[in-house]
A = this chain, B = another copy of it.
């Protein structure tokens, strides 16, 4: 019998305990041993809750108890769980965590500390989708060319609504909050930070890149308007919040932002709260992994899969490699990223304006792929929409500043990156 201690018994923690009890038959058959949840730690023992295991308010007790063989960390936060996970590993106990923020900041230290002790984290990225296993094991023969993931269900739900029903951002956000898909303060989701934590984890497995959230582009979906959605469609694109990690000549690009992607690509077809991660390997070609990204049971399913692997005696190197990845690829700095862009401007409707705009772009070496001119609500204004050929982020940022200074350009300039 293998005994499980759980740090943090909220929705996911209770699901883990419940599934271990309710699906005990199949889990024992697959793992070869009975797996039993024995103890959980919570902050406040007085808070009424409906849980299936004995509780303590001392997380140290879970770690130190001779009765606990494997520690599951589901507390959230960064520094406190870091200290506790560290303590468990130092005590020689395998750890399973779903904590993406912890890993976004401390995965390399934890790998060091873990050594041969299993530290698994399938649930930290895209909930129920076994994408860590796929990258760490299933695609191990491949140099990874790119990872593109829809890794935040809140954003995908909102964008799907905006795309399919033409609803504006503010209205969709309100609705998502009412449905419980978005938090009262939605910044962590809609600002791209949640997806960025997940991307950094995948980027480490694929490329061995030790980057922190502060070092990569993280943008959200707050600026997307129905106009952008509509024009994306005219250009043959859908708009998704993507986490992208991609190998290029200068190194590895990692970034999270609203992205226009071809409507025909598989990942563009992923709607609602579902998540999906597309991985291109140099040998396997394109693969995609689709499923629920959140929810107590889906996340617990991944946590338990990790426990089963540990019980089977499989360790696997934490980040997927036992020796340093020889590629030694550097992280491409945000301003050196090269991609295609969509630009939206509102300009005065008078002769010579288009020439001014395009020649400004030309000054920064930016060439136009396609252009659309649309009437504005105001009679003497028009909207100009461009997609550009590939250019460097730095040049694009400079060009946008220059465009804003033109006296014929009104309001802010909207920019959305394109991935083909």
| A305 is an interface residue with CB less than 8 A from chain B | yes
Decide: A139 and B290 in contact? CB cutoff 8 A: no
| A314 is an interface residue with CB less than 8 A from chain B | yes
Decide: B325 and A26 in contact? CB cutoff 8 A: yes
With a CB–CB cut-off of 8 A, which chain B residues contact A315? 312-314
Binary interface encoding of chain A residues 200-221 relative to chain B, with 1 for a CB under 8 A from any of its CBs, else 0: 0000000010000000000000
Decide: A284 and B288 in contact? CB cutoff 8 A: no
CB of A180 to closest CB in B, whole Å = 17
CB of A121 to closest CB in B, whole Å = 13
Decide: B314 and A32 in contact? CB cutoff 8 A: no
Q: What's the dominant secondary structure at chain A's contact region?
A: mixed
Decide: A25 and B327 in contact? CB cutoff 8 A: yes
Also in contact, A301 and B281, with CB within 8 A (given A143-B26, A291-B286): yes
Interchain CA distance A285-B299 in the complex, whole Å: 11
With a CB–CB cut-off of 8 A, which chain B residues contact A320? 30
| A323 is an interface residue with CB less than 8 A from chain B | yes
CB of A321 to closest CB in B, whole Å = 4
Copies of this chain, how many? 2
| A269 is an interface residue with CB less than 8 A from chain B | yes
Decide: A141 and B29 in contact? CB cutoff 8 A: no
CB of A351 to closest CB in B, whole Å = 45
Decide: A29 and B322 in contact? CB cutoff 8 A: yes
Chain A interface category by residue count: 35 or more
Binary interface encoding of chain A residues 155-183 relative to chain B, with 1 for a CB under 8 A from any of its CBs, else 0: 00000000000000000000000000000
The residue on B at minimum CB distance from A312 is B316
Decide: A292 and B301 in contact? CB cutoff 8 A: no
| A410 is an interface residue with CB less than 8 A from chain B | no
Decide: A19 and B316 in contact? CB cutoff 8 A: no
Query: Which residues in window 362-406 of A have CB below 8 A to B?
Result: none
| A23 is an interface residue with CB less than 8 A from chain B | yes
Decide: B128 and A287 in contact? CB cutoff 8 A: yes
CB of A327 to closest CB in B, whole Å = 7
With a CB–CB cut-off of 8 A, which chain B residues contact A301? 139, 141-142, 281, 283-284
Known: A29-B326, A289-B290. 5 other contacts (CB 8 A): A23-B282, A122-B138, A130-B287, A140-B308, A284-B298
